[in-house]
Structure 1
């Protein structure tokens, strides 16, 4: 279902919800579409800072896309498509529990630059829990 959803629809806690549609300026909307086209089949890959700039994304444009629900910002210059956290929980739930950052990074097919803030977001959302030895486990299985 997640792959079929586009803003203003999104999947949150196993439910399809609507977020208020904010109209993006045409250049930002085109840049978001290019990100979807280039990274839609690689949901845990984030464009590098220079590629974001090439697409026309500066801090202001990223902020507009995030507010509109078109992108998810994990850290400065680290953006993913909005469904990535739910997709990540599904992948991570398939790992032997608990799992390490390295195992998560490999399972997600991403870099440490993306995996660290993504796992921190999942921890904050209560989907994963960081253990005393820095391993993690999925607390809330995917919906």
Structure 2
């Protein structure tokens, strides 16, 4: 099996110029925990924002400024200052037995899938592997 067999291809991405407020609302309304971050200039993948990182930033703001100031502070925080820029990427042709090692060795929650032009075409999450495992166990 290959990455293309389990990846989600309806990926929700966010611009690096978006705010933490935008990411917070997007994660809440769309029910996602990982957002590939793309360049506004050319649409290429430049980072990843995780739910864990977003929650950490929100909690820091609440502790420092209080809940009343949260929305204002979130609007002032750019994604490009929070996103992870050192992350693993996949192509859709990578074998799953290699990919699962990335998840195990690095305790990753997601791996973006890119094409030859560094554009996001999918995402693989640890949940995708759990679903695959459930499918194989039910065979």
TM-score category of the 2 structures, normalised to the smaller one: under 0.3
The TM-score normalised by the length of structure 2 is 0.26
The structure having more radius of gyration, on CA atoms, is 2
The TM-score normalised by the length of structure 1 is 0.25
